[in-house]
Amino acid sequence: MAEGAAGQTIRTTCPYCGVGCGVLATPQDDGSVAIAGDPDHPANFGKLCSKGTALGATLGMEGRLTHPSIHGQQAGWDAALELVASRFSEAIAEHGPDSVALYVSGQLLTEDYYVANKLMKGFIGSANIDTNSRLCMASSVAAHRRAFGSDTVPALYDDLDEADLVVLVGSNFAWCHPVLFQRLLAARESRGMRIIVIDPRRTMTAEAADLHLPLEPDSDAALFLGLLRHIEAEGLADTAYLEAHVSGPEAALAEARALPVARVAGLTGLPAEQIRAFYEAFARTPRTLTIFSQGVNQSVRGTDKANAIINCHLYTGRIGKPGASPFSITGQPNAMGGREVGGLANMLAAHMNIEDGAARERVQRFWQAPTMATQPGLKAVDLFDAVLDGRIKALWIMATNPADSLPEAGRVDAALKACPFVVVSDILTETDTTRHAHVLLPALGWGEKDGTVTNSERRISRQRGFLPPPGEARADWWMLAEVARRMGFSGFDYADAAAIFREHAALSAFENDGSRDFDIGGVAAIGDAAFDAMAPFLWPKPLAGPEGGRFFARGGFYTPDRKARMIAVGLPPVSKPRDDRHGLWLNTGRIRDQWHTMTRTGRAPALLGQFGEPFVEIHPADAEAAGIAAADLVRVTTPHGEAILRALVTKRQRPGSVFVPIHWTDRFASHARIDRLVDRMTDPVSGQPGLKRTPARIDRYAAHWFGFAVTAQRPTPPAGAYWAIAPVEGGYRIEMAGEHAPEEIQPMAARLFGLAEDAAEWVALHDREAGRSRLAAFRGEALAGALFLGPEPVALSRAFLADAMASRHSAGERFRILAGRGGADRPDRGAMLCACFQVGVNEILAAIRSGTASVEAIGDALKAGTNCGSCRHDIRRMLDDHRLEKAG
Ligand SMILES: Nc1nc2c(c(=O)[nH]1)N[C@H]1C(S)=C(S)[C@@H](COP(=O)(O)OP(=O)(O)OC[C@H]3O[C@@H](n4cnc5c(=O)[nH]c(N)nc54)[C@H](O)[C@@H]3O)O[C@H]1N2
Ligand SMILES: Nc1nc2c(c(=O)[nH]1)N[C@H]1C(S)=C(S)[C@@H](COP(=O)(O)OP(=O)(O)OC[C@H]3O[C@@H](n4cnc5c(=O)[nH]c(N)nc54)[C@H](O)[C@@H]3O)O[C@H]1N2
Ligand code: SF4
Ligand SMILES: [Mo]
């Protein structure tokens, strides 16, 4: 394991999204780590987005889980592992192998994932191992397998540079794959390709597009069926390709022919001219790349949507050719590695099929496994149902936070409470999931662990450790192998990640001979030193034969007749919101600077500057109908629960639906764990839940008091109220609101600040008539906390107060804090637009007003937009707005 000495730079891979950027990490003498993009990594060529740039700020030890524990008591590894092994063995002996389960994650390294899958499917003898990729990639996996006979992603990142048209379907590329999005914009700049975005919301990605189709949620299949019909009508099929390499076009076309543009317009809610413009662009552009992600996958029609897209590419022979392919883009850093090891309950290792007896027998021989699983296991949503109704007696959750991320998350809480034995391995002590654990196992995190990940274009890269293990934390694969050994299984004596990687690579080549897409036999004999130094490479990488590259340009699909299948995708029965009480759709997804349940990005103040509070995006018409004004608090209600969120009233939202980010958990806000509200209906083919479309309603949350505070300690929020916490340099900020105003203000402030009242010096201003109070507590020159309360939303400079936590205050300046904003010399910077250099909206506005007229000039003046580039579009929009204002 390469643990970096201070000053020594280690090459590794970013732990966040599926772009898989190379990172240079250099531990410093003061214990911090300098982070930079790796100029030699082919995924990013030195670039990083805001999240990658802020990695150094997320490595602190606060909250880290450093020792195993049993029932909340610190325990040794031996006792903890013995307990896990014996409880799993007992459940199996008494109730059979299907009474235990693993729920794992696309954030595991391939080596961890491989061992987990081997233990369950080959030794325990059950396929009850599923992964959070069920919530993420399952529909794409199912669609690939239906169309190609294998889960093969045909395209490469180079296609972004080579395409003449890039269609983004249900993908907020600008925020979720920022480095690739910047590459795409650069390619458009230099070559003039067109970008079309299909998304109900006008996202930042849509803002940058040449054409945006804000379709009715879940109407994508109709749109692509209509496209197929149009291509046929125009006579633009690639008949030679179809003849040689594709089966099933007739049945697929029969469905499509029922969808002339007028009907598509009715179903999608799009104007016919817009649909025609898209169809013509697609039909006439051979080099078309269609990128899709969660707007496609996370749907009860996800598999059909993906196949409807793939059909259009097969029909035109646009697959695996430069700039021409369907391209399902992955979310997690190792979603692809998980697919390679068969981490899903309905897959087998090395892209083999669990339903195929010969494949099972082959894997069994390779593993010398005693009891192979004979059928697919339970998929995530069903798996947690089985936990709830008592079929699963012992569950091990690893590197995922299902109490926040599974739909109808209240049921997950209930299931975990009901489960006789819950093991959680995580890097943090307190998450919404770890609070249910009987046994907690401390895992090595990013920067400490060692192994490989595979990015969206099938590129395998090393993650390398450069920090010492915190406390007794160990690698996930080690815990699994130890438990396997203690359950009496042999075949788990791995010395290190390299040994596991070699076995995984050998299995990919075992009796393969070109019959399976995934083959990395070329690295099956890699030595330890070579593994340490291994450069990023694309698979396939067989022992002999062509390496890397695209798939399927000349056919060669992995079906029995080696032909691709066009799938006869039909239209679903018309569905409307279920009842009048829930007349809107709740859509959920991501924001630029946060990662999932915020366990890491929620620690970096820079990443909470753009959005510091959970919010709901509402179209002005829907807001008005519900009596909601900008910045009000809103109650969002679905049949499963309710949330309280800040209103973000914006025309970018499609009328009739609202959007809520997935990130805020019970650790960060009182009422924002949005998956408590989301429906758990699943796609019938893939088992992936439709996380983007739940019937909902909105109401104004009529608070009688509002509060804002900054604190040095993590604040203890008032009970029964709305609150949302975010870190700032040197402390925290908290927004509050409630129905019953606090009676005694100073004691409330002391509780909030975590102080004894007499342990600080206080300054205060009370306007009892108006019900407004401002008070601050100091310890010497340090601000221990400042609280602002009133009957209406607190209007003061959050940025000024956040900055105050990190500075010293002489006795004479204390009252300045109570003003809640800086003097004329310290203007309010406003919300942080540029996360990399912490440049606020107001600073950019000021520059624009004083005549700075281009994105580049603003970059020169303020640095904003000059690192990751993600905020450049916001800046451009501000410039445009200013020009319009002046003109109008
Ligand atoms: N900043 C950030 N980046 C991330 C992540 C993160 O947490 N934060 N997570 C990573 C992971 S694991 C994933 S899976 C990816 C996800 O990446 P994306 O798929 O790009 O992200 P989402 O925001 O979930 O959803 C994308 C879009 O789908 C749209 N959508 C909703 N319903 C429909 C529909 O019916 N049709 C169409 N066409 N579109 C629809 C939504 O409005 C949303 O804008 O991001 C990865 N990157
Ligand atoms: N409504 C709605 N729900 C969604 C989505 C949506 O768009 N809408 N998106 C879905 C998608 S695509 C995804 S991918 C999921 C993501 O959902 P989750 O996987 O639940 O989210 P994370 O916050 O990434 O959880 C990772 C956990 O692993 C821990 N961890 C970090 N590193 C390590 C490690 O090395 N080892 C171990 N053992 N633990 C580690 C973290 O502290 C954290 O608790 O959410 C899904 N849920
Ligand atoms: S785009 Fe950002 S989050 Fe994704 S891998 Fe690159 S640096 Fe990490
Ligand atoms: Mo994901």
Tens digit of pLDDT for each residue in 518-563?
999 999 999 999 999 999 999 999 999 999 999 999 999 999 999 9
Residue 873: the pLDDT is 84
What is the distance, to the nearest Å, from the Cα of residue 220 to the centroid of all Cα atoms in its chain? 22
How much is the pLDDT for 576? 60
Q: Residue 133 C-alpha to ligand 4 middle, in angstroms? A: 6
Confidence of residue 842 (pLDDT cuts 50, 70, 90): confident
Q: Minimum-distance ligand to the CA of 592?
A: 1
CA of 18 from ligand 4 middle (Å) equals: 9
Residue nearest to atom 7 of ligand 1 (CA): 595
pLDDT at residue 577, as a whole number:
58
Q: Which atom of ligand 3 is nearest to the CA of 50?
A: 2
Ligand 2 site residues, Cβ closer than 6 angstroms: 105, 107, 132, 135-136, 294, 298, 331-332, 398-402, 404-405, 425-428, 431, 443, 445, 449, 476, 588-589, 596-597, 599, 662, 674-675, 678, 691
| Per-residue model confidence (pLDDT) at position 826 | 64
**Which pLDDT belongs to residue 246?**
98
- Per the listing, tokens 């009242």 go with 757
- Reported pTM: 0.95
Q: Which of 261, 300, 262, 257 is nearest to 279 (CA)?
A: 261
Average pLDDT over every residue of 858-882 = 88
pLDDT of residue 761: 93
Read off the pLDDT band of 2 (50, 70, 90). very low
In terms of phi and psi (left: phi > 0; alpha: psi -120 to 50; beta: otherwise), the region of 517 is alpha
Decide which of 73 and 852 is more confident: 73
- Residue 815, pLDDT > 90, answer no
Q: Is the peptide bond before 791 cis (omega within 30 degrees of 0)?
A: no
Question: b vs e for 768-789, b when ≥16 Cβ sit within 10 Å of the residue's Cβ?
Answer: eeeebbbbbbbeeebbbbbbbb
Share of the chain above pLDDT 70, in %: 98
Length of the chain: 888
Which three-class secondary structure string do you get for 827-855? CCCCCEEECCCCEEHHHHHHHHHCCCCCH
Least confident of 13-17, 40-44, 608-612: 608-612
Q: How far does residue 135's CA lie from ligand 4's centre (Å)?
A: 7
CB of 334 closer than 8 Å to CB of 463 = no
Q: What is the pLDDT of residues 266-321, one digit of tens each?
A: 999 999 999 999 999 999 999 999 999 999 999 999 999 999 999 999 999 999 99
Q: Sort 80 into a burial class: Cβ within 10 Å, 0-12 / 13-18 / 19+.
A: buried
C-alpha distances in Å from residue 813, one per residue of 493, 783, 806, 818: 64, 11, 15, 10
Residue range 644-670: mean pLDDT, rounded = 97
DSSP code at position 121: I
Averaged pLDDT for residues 421-448: 98
Q: Tell me, what's the pLDDT at 797?
A: 87
Assigned token pair, 1: 């394991």
Q: 49 C-alpha to center of ligand 3: Å?
A: 5
Give nearest CA residue, ligand 2 atom 2.
691
Record the tokens describing residue 578, joined without a space: 């279920």
Residue 575's pLDDT is what?
A: 61
Distance 135 CA to ligand 1 centre (A): 12
CA of 122 to the centre of ligand 1 (A): 34
Q: Cβ(204) to ligand 1 under 6 A?
A: no
Decide if 466 contacts 46 (C-beta within 8 A): no
pLDDT tens for each residue of 68-124: 999 999 999 999 999 999 999 999 999 999 999 999 999 999 999 999 999 999 999
pLDDT above 70 (res 4): no
Q: Are 776 and 818 in contact (CB under 8 A)?
A: yes
Q: Which atom of ligand 1 is nearest to the CA of 171?
A: 20
Which of 13, 16, 459 to mutate for ligand 3's pocket (most ligand atoms within 8 Å of CB)?
16
Which residue has a Cα nearest atom 40 of ligand 2? 399
pLDDT at 578: 60
- The best mutation among 107, 216, 692 to test binding of ligand 1, ranked by most ligand atoms within 8 Å of the C-beta, falls on 692
607 alpha carbon, closest ligand: 1
Across residues 403-408, what is the average pLDDT? Answer: 98
> What pLDDT score was predicted for residue 579?
67
Distance CA 280, CA 179 (A): 29
Question: Six-digit token pair at 381?
Answer: 């949503």
Residue 672 is encoded by which pair of tokens? 């924002």
**SS3 assignment, position 742:** coil
Contact 585 CB / ligand 1 (< 6 Å): no
Highest mean pLDDT among 618-632, 785-799, 862-876 belongs to: 618-632
pLDDT of 444 strictly over 50: yes
Ligand 1 neighbour 292 (Cβ under 6 A): no
Taking 90 as the threshold, does the pLDDT of residue 868 lie above it?
Answer: no
The residue-averaged pLDDT of 639-661 equals: 97
What ligand is nearest to the CA atom of residue 14? Answer: 3
Ligand 1 center to 400 CA (angstroms):
18
**814: which DSSP letter?**
H
Average pLDDT over the chain, rounded to an integer: 95
Predicted confidence (pLDDT) at residue 1 exceeds the cutoff of 50:
no
